[in-house]
Structures are given as C-alpha cells and as structure tokens.
C-alpha cells in the first residue's frame, strides 16, 4: 500500500535542537503539508496549521510481552487525524527529551489500525555536539535515543572544537555505527537527510554495513560543504581556527573508536547460507528472551534452498521479515545480522547464530 502516510519520529535530549529542526522542516518551501504531533508541554511554538498535542501515554500491551509498550495517545491521535485524510502528506512526531523511542516505533508494528493507514519512515535523533558526551554518561534516555536512531543529527557543531566533534562522533558510532550521521549548525540539515528515508521498509534494507565505512566519502566533501554554509561559518571562526579544519579533513584515517560500556552493536556474519528451520526458532526465541535489551535488529540472510534474499528487522521483541529480491549472480550468498542493544550477551548470540549455518 503506497498511500500509507509516512511518519518521521524526532527524538533528542532536552535542548538538542529538535524544535528548531522541526520548525526548519516546516518552513522550507517543499510544498508539502505536515501534521505535527508534539508534546503538550513543549516550550517553543510550532508554526504549522495542523499541530496536535500529545500526552505521551505509554502503556504495556496485555499480551504477556513485557517490553511491548506502545503509545496509546498516538493510536488515538492517528485515528483522529485520518478524519482529515488528504489534507496532509506526512506526519512528524516530536517526542519529549526524556522519551524512549521504542514505544513510538512499536506502535507502528503492534496496532493493526495504525499499520493500515501509516508507516514509520525513520527515527531521527538530534544530538547536541557539546553536551552529548556528558549526557551519554548520566542520561540513559540520551543513550537509548542514539542507539535507536536511523539518522543522527550532530547539532551545534559551531560550539565545539574539531577534536570535540570527533570525540562525540566516535562516541555515537561506538553505540550505533549504523545510523546516518549529519553535522549541523542550528539544525541546518537538508530535508532529504531527515524525511522520506524508508528506514523501516524491508525493501530498503539493502546493506547493513556500518555507516562510517561510507563516511570517508563525506569527509572528502566536508571541507567544501563547510564553505557552502557561508554565513554560518562566521560563527565557527570565533571558536576555533580554520587551520584545524583543514587538518581534520586529512585526518580521517585516524578515526577514533569508542566502545560504550553498556550499549553496543553486534554484527555477525555466516559466510554462506543459514538453515531457516534453525534460524527462525533461534531468532524468535532470542528476541523473546533478550528483547528488553535488544533495541534494534536487522538482517540479510541467504536461506538454504531460497533464491531470494530474506531480510528482517526488529524493535525489541517485535520482528518483521520478508523475502526480498533475488540474489544477483555476482553477489556472494552470505548471511549477516546486526543487533544494537544494552549489555548484549555477545558470546551466546554469536554461538547461537553460528549454529544456524546450513
């Protein structure tokens, strides 16, 4: 169903710049109409025709699945918004700074009525370049938001030195190497970096390489890009000298890498096919048991006796999987899975997955 309304979820710790980004999205001349769902107690005004106040009521589904929490208010609001169907093109949900993104995302997988009318496009997290490192230490919410994200905007880069910026980006990648990272000043990212990502669309899970492997490419352009920003660059110069910028550009080989103590990602590869009769029970059992600590999961698998690629993704205990396109003749049939989570039992997961080899 292509006429499902795409929903972008904006998260980010208090003061990171979510509302600035939201107002930026709304004020650009894109010709689209958005329905915006914001927290009722938001401090900054939103300039939009269709703004709905939400109360972020999270409740547990009564289905024996303890991490199956959903946003009850969101179900109600989406049902009500459909009375204005045709009057908006997409929905943006802004969560409070302390919100866990999981219940929002799970709402789109658990509720059939919501699934019938809307689809989750991406979870976008705005991070404050100056304060994120500190928040990752003292605010579990901030860490969840980074771990959960499909897109991370490292904002307020004009307020930190290149070293600090590299530090915070390395910390982000230590938690979530799979999200797309964008640097921004006053949330100035191109809209197509945030909207229309189809991050939850199984057809779009083409690769699950860590995003920083592609980042080199961005770095080469980065120098130019800074200058394109023109007026904003003026602020930069007050805080750090330009020389370092050049230096940074040539320094990408020495990428810092951090491992977060509690939140990490685990990527596993079987150099060949997996047996679906082993893999399906294993992965279902794994997310049933470990779901509370697994925030996101993804996989592209070569199933024995199957010409098509099997792709799946999950949020905590909820898994969604399907056969996608054919494996191309020039493509190696390998099976890769990725988990992002808290205190993952790496050895147990690795051992379990490896036993699924066909």
Partner 1 sequence: MSETSLAQNVTTIEAGDSVVAAAFLGRTPVYALADGALLYAGIGEEKRVKAHEDGAILVALSDGKRFFTAGDDGLLVATDAEGRSETIADEKGKWIDALTLRDDGAMAWSAGKSVRARDAKGVVKNFDAPSAVRGLCFLPKGYRLAIAHYNGASLWFPNAGDPAFYEWKGSHLDATVSPDGRFLVTSMQENMLHGWRLADGKHMRMSGYPAKTRSFSWSPDGKWLATSGADACVVWPFETKDGPMGRGPRECGVRPRRVSRVAFHPTNMVLAIGYEDGWVLLVRLNDGAEIFVRGERESNDAVTALAWDAQGKRLAFGTKGGKAGVLDLPA
- Smallest separation (angstroms) from partner 1 to the CB of 230: 40
Q: For residues 106 and 9, give the distance between their C-alpha atoms in angstroms, rounded to a whole number.
A: 12
> What is the DSSP code string of 110-132?
H-HHHHHHEEEEEEEEEEETTTH
Question: For residue 56, what is the DSSP state?
Answer: -
- Residue 47 as a binder of partner 1 (CB under 8 A): the answer is no
- Smallest separation (angstroms) from partner 1 to the CB of 73: 6
Which of 80-88, 177-185, 254-262, 263-271 is the region at the interface with partner 1 (rule: CB under 8 A)? 80-88
Name which position in 27, 44, 45, 80 contacts partner 1 (CB under 8 A): 80
Name which position in 16, 37, 67, 75 contacts partner 1 (CB under 8 A): 75
CB 69 within 8 A of CB 102: yes
Q: What are the distances in angstroms from CA 100 to CA 65, 71, 95, 104, 208?
A: 17, 11, 8, 8, 24
**Contacts of the segment 204-210: beta carbons below 8 A, 24+ positions apart:** 205/298, 205/300, 205/311, 205/313, 205/324, 206/300, 207/300, 208/178, 208/267, 208/298, 208/299, 208/300, 208/336, 208/337, 208/338, 210/173, 210/177, 210/178, 210/265, 210/267
Which of 52-60, 256-264, 290-298, 307-315 is the region at the interface with partner 1 (rule: CB under 8 A)? 52-60
In the bound state with partner 1, the residue whose beta carbon lies nearer, of 79 and 331, is: 79
- Smallest separation (angstroms) from partner 1 to the CB of 51: 10
- Residue 59 as a binder of partner 1 (CB under 8 A): the answer is yes
- Residue 220 as a binder of partner 1 (CB under 8 A): the answer is no
Name which position in 76, 204, 257, 325 contacts partner 1 (CB under 8 A): 76
Q: For residues 151 and 233, give the distance between their C-alpha atoms in angstroms, rounded to a whole number.
A: 23
Q: How many residues bind partner 1 (CB under 8 A)?
A: 22
- Smallest separation (angstroms) from partner 1 to the CB of 92: 17
Footprint on this chain of partner 1 (rule: CB under 8 A): 52-53, 55, 57, 59-63, 70, 72-73, 75-77, 80, 83-85, 111-113
């Amino acid at each position: 169903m292509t006429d499902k309304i795409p929903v972008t979820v904006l998260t980010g710790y208090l003061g990171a710049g979510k509302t600035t980004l939201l107002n930026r999205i709304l004020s650009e001349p894109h010709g689209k109409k958005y329905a915006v769902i914001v927290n009722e107690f938001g401090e900054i005004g939103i300039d939009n025709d269709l703004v709905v106040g939400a109360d972020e009521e999270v409740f547990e589904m009564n289905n024996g699945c303890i991490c199956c929490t959903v946003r009850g208010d969101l179900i109600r609001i989406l049902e009500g918004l459909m009375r204005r169907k045709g009057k908006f093109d997409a929905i943006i949900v802004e969560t409070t700074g302390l919100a866990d993104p999981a219940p929002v995302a799970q709402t789109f997988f658990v509720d059939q009525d919501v699934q019938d009318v809307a689809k989750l496009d991406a979870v976008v997290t705005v991070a404050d370049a100056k304060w994120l490192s500190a928040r990752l230490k003292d605010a579990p919410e901030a860490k969840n938001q980074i771990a959960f994200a499909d897109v991370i905007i490292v904002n307020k880069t004009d307020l930190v030195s290149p070293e600090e910026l590299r530090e915070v980006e390395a910390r982000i990648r230590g938690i979530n190497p799979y999200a797309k990272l964008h640097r921004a000043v006053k949330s100035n990212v191109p809209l197509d970096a945030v909207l229309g990502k189809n991050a939850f669309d199984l057809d779009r899970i083409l690769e699950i390489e860590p995003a920083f492997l592609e980042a080199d490419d961005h770095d080469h352009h980065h120098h130019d890009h800074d200058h394109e920003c023109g007026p904003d660059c003026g602020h930069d110069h007050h805080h750090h000298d330009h020389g370092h910028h050049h230096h940074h550009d040539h320094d990408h080989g020495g990428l810092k890498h951090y491992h977060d103590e509690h939140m990490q990602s685990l990527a596993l590869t079987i150099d060949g096919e997996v047996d679906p009769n082993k893999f399906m029970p294993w992965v279902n059992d794994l997310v049933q048991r470990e779901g509370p600590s697994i925030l996101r999961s993804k996989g592209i698998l070569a199933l024995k006796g199957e010409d098509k690629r099997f792709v799946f993704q999950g949020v905590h205990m909820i898994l969604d999987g399907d056969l996608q396109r054919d494996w191309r003749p020039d493509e190696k049939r390998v099976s890769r899975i990725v988990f992002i989570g808290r205190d993952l039992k790496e050895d147990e997961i690795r051992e379990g997955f490896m036993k699924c080899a066909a």
